[in-house]
Amino acid sequence: MRARDLLADLPVVGLDDPITEAARLLARHDLPGVIVVDAAGVPVAVLPGPQVLRLAVPAYCQDDPALARVVDEAHADELLGRLHGLVVRDALPPHPSELPVTDPDATVLELAALMARTRSPIVAVMDGGRLAGAVTLRALLARMLAA
């Protein structure tokens, strides 16, 4: 059982795609995160869903729940409005940590260690310089539980 046996095709976004496109993919495909690729199609990050929201929240109430409560009721379209004009690159941390990326020969142990260490429910699988697909936490858990 290797990464190649657990591969799924997941949608990806580019660094300069609108952040609303990432939001749409997350919602439509019920993904825990979306793989971000550079112009050459090489994964540069896995963008976790909650990170997309960070850009939609005004700075003054990011760290203070009470402020978000006392302002006038925010409407869903206002949140979306704050995302307009922003691209995926804007949502990524300035200093990315270890990437959840491996190769098709990765064992289930490697996949589990990589997901645990990077806290990513998605691992991108590269084969010969191109993205071959991804392994999701769900696929790995389902395989473990069926074993």
Q: What whole-number distance in Å separates Cα of residue 105 and Cα of residue 123?
A: 13
Q: How far is the CB of 16 from a copy of itself (least distance, A)?
A: 20
Residue 7 C-alpha from the chain's centroid: 16
Q: How far is the CB of 39 from a copy of itself (least distance, A)?
A: 26
Q: Report which of 110, 116, 119, 89 is spatially closest to residue 6, judged by C-alpha positions.
A: 110
DSSP code per residue over 18-75 = BHHHHHHHHHHTT-SEEEEE-TTS-EEEEEEHHHHHHTTS-GGGTS-HHHHHHSSPPP
Q: How far is the CB of 59 from a copy of itself (least distance, A)?
A: 11
Q: Is the Cβ of residue 2 or residue 89 nearer to a copy of itself in the bound state?
A: 2
Q: How far is the CB of 4 from a copy of itself (least distance, A)?
A: 13
First to last CA, the chain: 11
Q: How far is the CB of 9 from a copy of itself (least distance, A)?
A: 16
Q: Is the Cβ of residue 20 or residue 89 nearer to a copy of itself in the bound state?
A: 20
Q: Is the Cβ of residue 9 or residue 77 nearer to a copy of itself in the bound state?
A: 77
Binding residues for a copy of itself, rule: CB under 8 A, are: 1-2, 20, 23-24, 26-27, 30, 32, 48-54, 56-58, 61-63, 65, 68-69, 71, 73-80, 102, 106-110, 112-121, 137-138, 140-147
Q: Is the Cβ of residue 130 or residue 138 nearer to a copy of itself in the bound state?
A: 138
For the record, the structure tokens of 5 come out as: 């046996």
DSSP code per residue over 15-33 = TTSBHHHHHHHHHHTT-SE
